[in-house]
DNA sequence: CTGAAAGCGCTAACAG
DNA sequence: CTGTTAGCGCTTTCAG
């Protein structure tokens, strides 16, 4: 079996004791080699539950009860088991436990990795989810899969994981259907359309947009343009963050009696640069702009300055759903409402596990944090 | 059991049908709840190898041989098994397989998540590793653990995984010792000190620095400053990328008969800004600078411009080990030699699996890609 | 080339 | 409160 990494360029290998590889197309191990792998999982030589039982003078079942706290035991019995376990350096075997209990205690994080999903906060989601899982004695496997659900189905139907946490969900997400057909439980980061049947956690778009807009309104701005993501680029129709953010923005503008102004922009730095020209042409009276997602904002800001506008004196830029580090890269460093990635990852795991436990799981919406930078300031032409 | 996410700010919850959470301290499920989780791993109702054997008129062992290609079978037998599997929609149970074979076919990616490790290419490593693992029928669990090896030891000694891939390794890495003591096989992305006993893949620092420096030399620059990472910040003493990059740089300068000039800088955008002042003060004759890692470079560039220097007319900036997206965020967009994250992740998995198979694994060094931006240009004061 | 049989280490009824 | 007893589904000698 061979697989190719999604990297450009031709392979160029040299060997002189070590391999030196430039832009590799990676040819992986073949089947035969993989089959010959001999190392066992680390646990192999450890004492078993039977050894412990024997040493403690109880039955294996009793040890199991103690381990799982699944039946009440006398303190004395517990103490003897505890001692035996310590003496024998007992470590329970998670694989055997999984087989017998029919629960692997492994969950998967499925996240897309194609165009339009190049969010740098991806790392935060993974860290949040993995650490939450670890704290709950679960393991998190990572499945970077295509949007279409095919790869996901293949992985899920292997039956290793107890459940799947889906990232970057769309209204009509093929991955959801794929999992449903296989019968693997799932929870969502993001949501599907109106009839959300699965547990989910998501950004609180209303609150986040309000946080962003209020800051601008407080500074006196009245002509605030939203630079939203473009669903036509990267096939992101029905992508919640786009239309929910726009909805929140329009509501808010309505609430304040202001005219909404929306333009679309691809999710790259370069697209952000290009958007600057359109912004100035189409909305010459804009004094502030809210830019969706972390990549376009730096590009747009840079290009505004390049075209002779001063930020924030002429126009304030608010970066919506970015990270502190990315926001700091621009000059001036950007004011942003962050993506609560760590929180969503952790809360997503929590939702999934509650769901696996058969508990009702109310939706959770998390608001980003307003981090004030130097790209927003008082409206210059204030009446 | 309760755990706190590493997020700042106080919890602020509201419930009105959905939870609305701001800056949450996440309180996770308690033990009792986790114990009550009932969902089984997805496989539970599927046909077993016995069913297949019965349907095919062979023994379970034969089916196993067929599945694993572990003994030669007649074509006819294979065909019958194949048909039975299809009829019954057979899916082998990975947990049972793991128990019997003593191999879980799960490997872990351990990566640090503390200060100094906030690389945005982390996502690429994970994607590369996870997809390589999947291609080889392995699963990758993610363990974001502290540098000290304690958390890692706790996870590894559970015995779920067949091996561990360590990211961001240092010369004297406690995590390596921790794994050795437990007896869990490991491979490295990065390397330990001189006596590297474990298989590793790493950046080809010599080649990458040469790629960066050659570009600048070709443009006529002769006074090229290296802005290296500061090991005192984030406790990164013995961190290979720092001293290997510096070594490569010094060699190269020697080779060209140029005077090396090195300054240190923390791994944040803000530190990069601060470094600009020192650069101008300490090396007023510099016409080009090579900046280590993706965060400081944008800061340094911005501050140089802020101080009235023109990039690249007055000074060229080369961002070493960044990503295309981050490099594009600056104005001018930065020339960079990338971190080959995807490649290293995939090659690391390959190295680990070969190691598990008992095969010799020669080291692999991968060179980044030179992506030319607008931050480097011909030396202005060329004689 | 195929099969019988003995587990892998743990859990979970069911008894007592 | 504790023990007995079957497995969970697959792999892997060891025979034939």
* Minimal C-alpha gap between A258 and chain B (Å): 27
- Buried/exposed code over B178-196 (b: 16+ C-beta within 10 A; e: otherwise): bbeebebbbbbbbbbeeeb
Give the other-Cβ count within 10 Å of A364's Cβ: 24
| CB distance under 7 Å to strand D: residues | A 57-62, 65, 71-74, 76-77, 96, 99-100, 102; B 43-44, 48-50, 60-61, 64-65, 67-68, 70, 92-93, 96-97, 99-102
Instruction: Check CB contact under 8 Å for B143 and A155.
Output: no
- Rounded Cα–Cα distance for residues A294 and B306 (Å): 23
What's the average model confidence in pLDDT over B189-201? 85
- Buried/exposed code over A91-104 (b: 16+ C-beta within 10 A; e: otherwise): bbbbbbbbbeeebb
Task: Check residue A40 and give its pLDDT.
Answer: 55
Q: Which two tokens stand for residue A294?
A: 């972390």
Task: Check residue A296 and give its pLDDT.
Answer: 93
Q: Which two tokens stand for residue A257?
A: 């009696």
For D5, nearest residue by CA–C1' is A61
For D9, nearest residue by CA–C1' is B96
Q: Which of A15, A120, A365 sits opposite B120 (nearest CB)?
A: A120
Q: Which of A26, A35, A325 sits opposite B346 (nearest CB)?
A: A26
Residues of B in contact with A306 (CB under 8 A): 331
- Rounded Cα–Cα distance for residues B86 and B100 (Å): 24
Instruction: Check CB contact under 8 Å for B23 and A369.
Output: yes
Residue B7 has pLDDT above 80, yes or no: no
Closest CA to A246 of A212, A219, A277: A212
Instruction: Check CB contact under 8 Å for B142 and A140.
Output: yes
Give the other-Cβ count within 10 Å of B91's Cβ: 16
Task: Check residue A72 and give its pLDDT.
Answer: 75
Residue B1 has pLDDT above 50, yes or no: no
Residue B215 has pLDDT above 70, yes or no: yes
| 3-state secondary structure labels for all residues of B52-74 | HHHHHCCCHHHHHHHHHCCCCCC
Residues sharing a CB contact under 8 Å with residue A82, sequence separation 6 or more, in sequence order: none
Question: Using 50, 70 and 90 to split pLDDT, how confident is the model at B261?
Answer: very high
**Better pLDDT: B226 or A359:** B226
Q: Which of A43, A160, A364 sits opposite B95 (nearest CB)?
A: A160
Domains and CATH numbers, chain B: 4-101 (1.10.260.40), 106-203+342-366 (3.40.50.2300), 205-339+369-382 (3.40.50.2300)
Burial class (CB within 10 angstroms; exposed 0-12, middle 13-18, buried 19+) of B74: exposed
Give the other-Cβ count within 10 Å of A267's Cβ: 21
Residue B164 has pLDDT above 50, yes or no: yes
Task: Check residue B381 and give its pLDDT.
Answer: 67
Q: Which of A20, A141, A142 sits opposite B365 (nearest CB)?
A: A20
| Mutation for B interface: A3, A10, A28, A267, most B CBs within 10 A | A28
> Looking at A345-349, B58-62, B349-353, which range is the least confident one?
B58-62
Q: Which two tokens stand for residue B73?
A: 């079978």
Q: Which residues pair with A111 in a beta bridge?
A: A144
- Rounded Cα–Cα distance for residues B11 and B379 (Å): 54
Q: A187 by DSSP, 3-state: which? A: strand
Residues of A in contact with B139 (CB under 8 A): 106, 141, 160
Q: Which of B93, B295, B359 sits opposite A325 (nearest CB)?
A: B295
User: Residue B97, CA: closest nucleotide via C1'?
Assistant: D10
Q: Which residues pair with A226 in a beta bridge?
A: A262, A290
Residue B44 has pLDDT above 70, yes or no: no
> Looking at A9-23, B127-141, B347-361, which range is the least confident one?
A9-23
Residues sharing a CB contact under 8 Å with residue A31, sequence separation 6 or more, in sequence order: A1, B69
Residue reference for tokens 């690429």: B124
What's the average model confidence in pLDDT over B166-186? 92
Task: Check residue A252 and give its pLDDT.
Answer: 97
Rg (CA), chain B: 26
Instruction: Check CB contact under 8 Å for B358 and A39.
Output: yes
The answer to whether the CB of A355 falls within 8 A of the CB of B38 is: no
Q: Which residues pair with A108 in a beta bridge?
A: A141, A164
- Rounded Cα–Cα distance for residues A223 and A126 (Å): 37
Strand C: which nucleotides have any atom within 7 A of a protein Cβ? Answer: 1-13
| Strand ranges, E, within A244-313 | 261-265, 288-292
**Better pLDDT: A277 or B65:** A277
The answer to whether the CB of A140 falls within 8 A of the CB of A107 is: yes
Residue B290 has pLDDT above 70, yes or no: yes
Residues sharing a CB contact under 8 Å with residue A282, sequence separation 6 or more, in sequence order: A263
Residue reference for tokens 């360029």: A9
The answer to whether the CB of B35 falls within 8 A of the CB of A70 is: yes
**Better pLDDT: B72 or A155:** A155
Nearest CA in chain B to A18: B363
Task: Check residue A22 and give its pLDDT.
Answer: 44
Query: Number of H helices and number of E strands within chain B?
Result: 14, 14
Strand D: which nucleotides have any atom within 7 A of a protein Cβ? Answer: 1-13
The answer to whether the CB of A147 falls within 8 A of the CB of A112 is: yes
* Minimal C-alpha gap between B262 and chain A (Å): 23
- Rounded Cα–Cα distance for residues A78 and A255 (Å): 63
- Rounded Cα–Cα distance for residues B113 and B110 (Å): 10
Burial class (CB within 10 angstroms; exposed 0-12, middle 13-18, buried 19+) of B238: middle
Residue B360 has pLDDT above 80, yes or no: yes
Task: Check residue A88 and give its pLDDT.
Answer: 87
Q: Which of B126, B342, B362 sits opposite A19 (nearest CB)?
A: B362
- Rounded Cα–Cα distance for residues A204 and B49 (Å): 48
- Rounded Cα–Cα distance for residues B134 and A3 (Å): 10
Q: How does pLDDT run along chain A (383 residues), one tens digit per residue?
A: 333 343 322 333 444 445 544 444 444 444 455 556 665 555 456 788 888 888 888 888 888 888 888 777 788 888 888 888 888 888 889 999 988 888 999 999 998 876 566 677 788 899 889 988 998 899 999 999 988 899 999 999 999 999 999 999 989 899 999 999 998 999 999 988 866 789 999 999 999 999 999 999 999 999 999 999 999 887 788 899 999 999 999 999 999 999 999 999 998 888 999 999 999 999 999 999 999 999 899 999 999 998 999 999 999 999 999 988 888 888 888 999 999 888 899 899 989 998 988 888 888 898 988 989 999 999 876 54
Instruction: Check CB contact under 8 Å for B135 and A38.
Output: no
The answer to whether the CB of A66 falls within 8 A of the CB of A79 is: no
What's the average model confidence in pLDDT over B341-365? 88
Closest CA to B104 of A45, A53, A112, A42: A42
CA/C1' separation A80–D2 (Å): 14
For D13, nearest residue by CA–C1' is B61
Instruction: Check CB contact under 8 Å for B39 and A330.
Output: no
Task: Check residue A35 and give its pLDDT.
Answer: 54
Question: Using 50, 70 and 90 to split pLDDT, how confident is the model at B36?
Answer: low
- Rounded Cα–Cα distance for residues A279 and A301 (Å): 11
User: Residue B68, CA: closest nucleotide via C1'?
Assistant: D11
CA angle at residue B248 from B247 to B250, to 5 degrees? Answer: 65
* Minimal C-alpha gap between A162 and chain B (Å): 4
* Mean pLDDT for all residues in chain B: 85
Backbone angles phi, psi at A92, to 5 degrees: -70, 150
The answer to whether the CB of B63 falls within 8 A of the CB of B49 is: yes
Task: Check residue B212 and give its pLDDT.
Answer: 97
Residues sharing a CB contact under 8 Å with residue B262, sequence separation 6 or more, in sequence order: B225, B226, B227, B228, B246, B249, B250
Instruction: Check CB contact under 8 Å for B331 and A5.
Output: no
For C1, nearest residue by CA–C1' is B73
Rg (CA), chain A: 26
Instruction: Check CB contact under 8 Å for A365 and B98.
Output: no
Residue B242 has pLDDT above 80, yes or no: yes
Q: Which two tokens stand for residue A50?
A: 């039977």
Q: A83 by DSSP, 3-state: which? A: helix
Q: Which two tokens stand for residue B22?
A: 């701001």
Task: Check residue B25 and give its pLDDT.
Answer: 40
What is the DSSP secondary structure assignment for residue B17, as one 8-state letter? S
**Better pLDDT: B210 or B119:** B210
Task: Check residue B13 and give its pLDDT.
Answer: 40
User: Residue B40, CA: closest nucleotide via C1'?
Assistant: D8
Nearest CA in chain B to A6: B342
- Rounded Cα–Cα distance for residues A256 and A252 (Å): 6
């Amino acid at each position: 079996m061979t697989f190719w990494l999604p990297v450009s360029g031709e392979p160029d290998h040299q060997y002189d004791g070590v391999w030196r590889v430039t832009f590799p197309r990676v040819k992986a191990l073949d089947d035969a080699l993989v089959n010959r792998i001999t190392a066992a999982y680390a646990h192999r030589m450890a004492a078993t539950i039977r050894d412990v039982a024997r040493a403690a003078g109880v039955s294996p079942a009793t040890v199991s009860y103690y381990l799982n706290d699944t039946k009440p035991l006398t303190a004395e019995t517990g103490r003897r088991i505890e001692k035996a376990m310590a003496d024998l350096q007992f470590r329970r075997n998670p694989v055997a436990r999984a087989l017998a209990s029919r629960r692997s205690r492994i969950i998967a994080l499925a996240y897309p990795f194609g165009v339009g999903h190049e969010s740098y906060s991806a790392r935060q989601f993974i860290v949040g989810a993995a650490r939450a899982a670890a704290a709950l004695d679960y393991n998190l496997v990572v499945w970077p899969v295509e949007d279409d659900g095919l790869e996901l189905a293949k992985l899920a139907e292997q039956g290793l994981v107890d459940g799947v946490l889906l990232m970057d969900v769309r209204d009509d997400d093929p991955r959801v259907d794929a999992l449903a057909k296989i019968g693997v439980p799932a929870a969502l980061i993001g949501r599907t359309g109106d009839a959300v049947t699965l547990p989910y956690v998501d950004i609180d778009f209303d609150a986040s947009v309000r946080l962003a807009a209020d800051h601008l309104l407080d500074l006196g701005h009245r002509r605030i343009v939203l630079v939203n993501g473009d669903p036509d680029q990267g096939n992101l129709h029905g992508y919640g963050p786009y239309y929910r953010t726009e909805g929140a923005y329009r509501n808010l503008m309505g609430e304040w009696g202001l005219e909404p102004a929306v333009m679309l922009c691809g999710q790259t730095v370069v697209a952000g640069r290009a958007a600057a020209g359109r912004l100035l042409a189409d909305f010459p009276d804009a004094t502030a702009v809210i830019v969706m997602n972390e990549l376009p904002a730096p590009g747009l800001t840079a290009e505004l300055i390049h075209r002779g506008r001063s930020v924030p004196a002429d126009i304030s830029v608010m970066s919506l759903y970015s990270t502190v580090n990315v926001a700091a890269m621009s000059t001036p460093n950007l004011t942003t409402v962050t993506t609560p990635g760590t929180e969503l990852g952790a809360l997503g795991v929590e939702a999934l596990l509650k769901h696996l436990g058969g508990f009702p799981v109310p939706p959770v919406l998390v608001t980003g944090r307003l981090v004030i930078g130097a790209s927003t300031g008082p409206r210059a032409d204030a009446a």
